[in-house]
Structure 1
Amino acid sequence: MVATVLKLRYRVLGNTLARRPWQLVGFILSSLWGLGVLGGLVAGMVALAMFQGLDAARVVVILGGSLLILGWLVGPIVVAGLESTVDAERLAPFPFTRRQVMLALAGTGATGIPGIVTTLAVLATVIVWVRWPVAAVIAVPTVLLGVVTCVLASRLMGELSTGLGGRRGREIVGTVVLVALIMTGPILTGIVALLDSAGSDLWTRLQQAAGILAWTPLGAAWAVAPSVAAGEWLPALASLAIALATIAVLWIVWDRVIETATSSPRQRASRTVAAGKLGLFGVMPTGGVGATWARSLSGWLRDPRYLRQLLVIPLFPVLFAFTGGLDGFMFILSPVLAALVMAAVGYADISFDGSAFGTTLATGISGRTDRLGRLLGAASVGIPLIVVITVVTSVLAGDAARLPAVLGAALGVLLAGYGVCAVSSALIVTPVPAPGDSPFKSTPGQNSIVGLLVFAVWAVVLVLSAPAIVLAIVSAVTGDAVWGWAALAVGIGFGAIVAAVGVLVGGRTLQRTGPDLLVRIKAFPT
């Protein structure tokens, strides 16, 4: 059964690559990248085996293996999302046992490019232990335990947001896990800073980190071979027990999540509303602009695909506070970076409408009305959020004198971004997750070329917001508050002009491209 599922998976992959040349190019490039990483790793293992001793080998293998498991957790989210050609919900209608479903999913994870490269890479670490033959023999099965841990942890992480009963449960769990992963970096940075404050040099800190990780699920599998090489059999057995227990726990938890995912089909969320209660539609002005404004603001406040973006934006100051302190330059600059990210959220926002965009076209509202309503919806959330972040960071940094300059640059970037997105979203639609989907799941039809479009949007935004940014920089360099207030005035004034021009140009563009956008949205694979 598992072999049949894998054959179908690769047939689907082959057909997809044959139909989409750009995805074939991305597949080839990722394969070449994986081979390059593998070659460099093998060369490093050979050098480590020839020129370094046991202590160095222990630290490199344990730290590298621990980072590998973390990479399997974070990498699919950062790069392209968890591969979803085969998942529990797709296999649910077939007469498979839960164990067969889990084996099939684990097999697809282990036989993809990341799985193959990971397996070959960890087997290459056996080279390190050639001077200790017993450790080399034991290293083969134990590092494969590390690969199994990678695959199971990645699959469990992907299923967590889809297997806890109901759309809201998936959305909450997926978002919480996503935030936890984002904060992993600052947490590790804080640990390193604590070690550094103790006066230890870098090598001592690395040894301490390896010693701690050897007793955790991240490093246990990789610590068995070095313990055997050192003649430490009891620690080796303890690490082996931790590694096996980790796999057992992952399997049991994953089994429970799979059971829920396959036995509880998705249900559309519904809510009874009292007669006459129109929500935001009863508050906003009547007409096309008011209706579009209410619909857009409802999406920003209720759609988890927007809410995840809003949740990530305030994390920028937190990240820089961990890494550089409250008095660091990046902490003070964080509102501008947050505004830049916030500005690009809607660069293809019609994609989030899905086929419901046809209803917008059917109403006959003008393109300019649609652009203005969407801009007001985004600004109703974005502007207050950026203002609050700017004020709070300036106060915490104890540098309130720079508030006008930073706020001017941030608002200039945000308003320019709204203008650019008013045009770009009339031209660009991309495959996006469906409402309630896991944030870890890749969307069919996504590719690296589509992902690069957001960088083009950011480049245009930075060019158009340059006047406010330059004035803010001058204020920071000279310390003259006048330049800061000038940056605030230019950021708001010129940014508003860019936003208004974007609405006009984007409106005319949407009048022409609207039907074509709907056709492209309906053609996206599901």
Structure 2
Amino acid sequence: MVAAVLRLRYRLLGNTLARSPWQLVGFVFGILGAVWVLGAVIAGLVAASILQGLDTARGIAVVGGSALLLGWALGPVLVAGADATVDAERLAPLPISSRQIMVALTGTGLTGIPGIATCIAALSSVVLWIRWPVAAIVAVPMAVIAVLTCVLVSRLVTTLSSGLSGRRRGREIVGTVVLGLVIMTGPITTGILSLLDAAGDLPTQLGTAGTVLGWTPIGAAWAVAGDVAAGSWLPALFKVVIAVGTLAALWFGWARALHASTGTRPVQTTKAVKAGTLGLFGVLPTGGVGATWARSLTGWLRDPRYLRQLIFVPLFPALFAFTGGVDGGGFGASAIIVAMTLAIAGYADVSYDGTAFAAVLSSGITGRVDRWGRVLGAASVGVPAVIVVAVVVAAVGGGWDHLPAVLGGALGLLLVGYGVSAVSSALIVVPVPRAGDSPFKTVPGQTFASGMLVFAVLGASLVLGAPALILAVVATATASASLGVVALVTGVVVGAGVIVAGVFIGGRILDRTGPSLLQRIKAFPI
């Protein structure tokens, strides 16, 4: 069964690459990147095994292995997305048991580019112990356990983020929890680094970190060989128990999560509301612009696919505060970074409508009306968020003198981005997770070219927002309050002008391309 699933996976991959040259380019870049990283890792391990002592080797193995495990836990979900080529939902209808599905998915995880690279890197870590033959022998099975742990934790996180108990609300809750964990990653990492800084030089830091992480589930498997090399057999035995227990717990947890997500029928959740309650549709103005505004704002406030964009609002200020302090330039410019992120969030906004975009086309509203509604919906969330970040940062960092300049650069970039997105979303549709799916899920049909389009939209936004950004930088550097006000006025005026032009151009384009956009959306793989 595992062999059949692997053949199916690689046949699908081959057909996809043959059909999409740009996806083939992205695949080649992925392989080259993995080879480069592997070369650097292996060279570093060889150098460490020759030049460093036992304590440093133990620290390198445990810290590096722990970082690898965390990368497997967060990377596939937050960076690349959950691989939907061969997943549990597609295998569930087949006459195979949950255990066979788990074994097959583990096999696909091990045989992908990340899995192969991890296997090679883990086995290469054996060279750290070449001066201690017994430890080198022990390192081989522990490397196998460590790699399996990486794959299982990835599958567990993917399953949890993709579905819980078959309920859409459960999937949204899990996605929100994952987002919250990401927000805390920066402060936690900075706190660990601060503790290491107090420990002394690099070898001492690695030794301290390795000692602590070696007794945790994320580093125990990598610490066994070091304990064997040091002659600490009893701690090594305890860490073997921790590593094996972690692997068993992950397998059991994954089995439960898999049963909850695929063994339970999807439940249609309903909410009783008072008769005549229209939500935002009853609050905002009537007409095409008002209805589109209400629908767009509802998505921004309730749809996890939009909500995940808002994670950057508290994330960037927190990261800059913990890494550079509240007096650093990064913290002071947090509002501009947040604006840059939110400005391009809707570059392919029509994609999130899915086939429901047919209702927009059949409603008879013009493209210009649709553009205005979507811009107002995004701005109702983005503009207040940027202003709040700028004011809070100024209050915490004592940068009230720079507030007009920061607001000018941030609002100018945000408004310009809305104008650019009004045009780009009338031209671009990309495969996105369906409503109710995990917002991190990667869907078939995404290509290297579609991934690069966001950078083109960002580049256009930066170019059009350059006047306000340049004035903001100069005003901050010269501590000129009057120039800061000029930057603020320039940002708002230029941004408003770009929005008007973007709505006009994007509306005319949408009137012409609307049916073709719907056709392309329907052609996306499910």
Residue by residue over 1:338-371, the C-alpha shift from the partner in whole angstroms, topping out at 9 and shown as x without a partner, is 0110111100000000111111111221111110
Cα displacement (A) at 1:182:
4.4
TM-score (normalised: structure 1): 0.96
Q: Equivalent residue for 2:407?
A: 407
2:240 corresponds to: 240
Q: Would the aligned equivalents of 2:433 and 2:440 in 1 still touch at CA under 8 Å?
A: no
C-alpha displacement at 1:163, in angstroms? Answer: 3.8
1:114 and 2:144 are equivalent in the alignment: no
Segment of structure 1 superposing worse, 22-31 or 500-509: 22-31
What residue is the counterpart of 1:128 in the other structure? 128
Q: SS at the partner of 1:161?
A: helix
Structure 2 counterparts to residues 295-314 of structure 1, below 5 A = 295-314=295-314
301-310 or 148-157, which deviates more: 301-310
* 1:138–1:454 distance in 2 versus 1, CA, 3 Å: same
Equivalent residue, structure 2, for 1:357: 357
| CA deviation after TM superposition for structure 1 residue 86, in Å | 1.8
Tell me what 2:194 maps to. 193
In structure 2, stretches of 5+ residues that fail to align are none
Q: CA RMSD in A?
A: 1.5
Matched-pair contact (CA < 8 Å) for 1:325–1:331: yes
What is the distance in 2 between the residues matched to 1:268 and 1:217?
A: 38
In the TM superposition, what whole-angstrom CA distance separates every residue of 1:354-393 from its partner, at most 9, and x where no partner exists?
A: 1111111112211111101111111111111111111111
Q: Does 1:83 align with 2:75?
A: no
The 3-state SS of whatever aligns with 1:275 is coil
Whether 2:105 is the aligned partner of 1:102: answer: no
Which range moves more in the overlay, 271-280 or 64-73?
Answer: 271-280
Check conservation: 1:179, 1:312, Cα contact below 8 A. no
2:31 paired residue number: 31
Query: Helix, strand or coil for the counterpart of 2:285?
Result: coil
Q: What residue number does 1:275 align with?
A: 275
SS in 2 for 1:477: helix
Determine if contact 2:20/2:447 at 8 Å carries over to the other structure. no
Map of 1:60 onto structure 2 = 60
Equivalence map 1:381-400=2 (5 Å):
381-400=381-400
Name the counterpart of 1:446. Answer: 446
**In structure 2, what is the Cα distance between the partners aligned to 1:104 and 1:46?**
34
Q: How does 1:137-156 map to 2 (within 5 A)?
A: 137-156=137-156
Cα distance between partner residues in 1 of 2:460 and 2:438: 31
Q: Which residue in the other structure is 2:184 paired with?
A: 183
- 1:221 corresponding residue in structure 2: 221
CA offset digits 1:112-162 (Å, max 9, x no partner): 111111111111111221221111111100011110110000000111123
Q: CA deviation at 1:240?
A: 0.9
Q: Distance in 1 between matches of 2:76 and 2:157?
A: 10
Distance 2:78 2:174 in 1: 18
Gaps spanning 5+ residues in structure 1: where? none
Kept in 2: contact 1:171–1:304 (CA 8 A): yes
**What code does the residue aligned with 1:385 have?**
A
- Matches of 1:163 and 1:293 in 2, distance apart? 30
Tell me, yes or no, if the aligned pair for 2:142 and 2:222 is still in contact at 8 Å.
yes
Q: Name the counterpart of 1:51.
A: 51
Quick check: 2:78–2:440 contact (8 Å CA) kept in 1? no
Alpha-carbon distance between aligned partners in 2 of 1:492 and 1:456, rounded to the nearest angstrom: 23
The residue that corresponds to 2:175 in the other structure is 174
* Number of aligned positions between the proteins: 525
> What does 1:451-466 align with in structure 2 at a 5 Å threshold?
451-466=451-466
Preserved CA contact (<8 Å) 2:186 2:322? no
Residue 475 of structure 1 aligns with an amino acid whose one-letter code is A
Alignment partners' CA distance in 2, 1:163 and 1:491: 42
SS in 1 for 2:171: helix
- The answer to whether the 8 Å contact 1:426/1:514 transfers is yes
Q: Deviations over 1:395-439 (max 9, x none)?
A: 011121211111111111111111000001011111111112123
For residues 163 and 460 of structure 2, the distance between their equivalents in structure 1, rounded to whole angstroms, comes to 40
Q: More displaced, 67-76 or 198-207?
A: 198-207
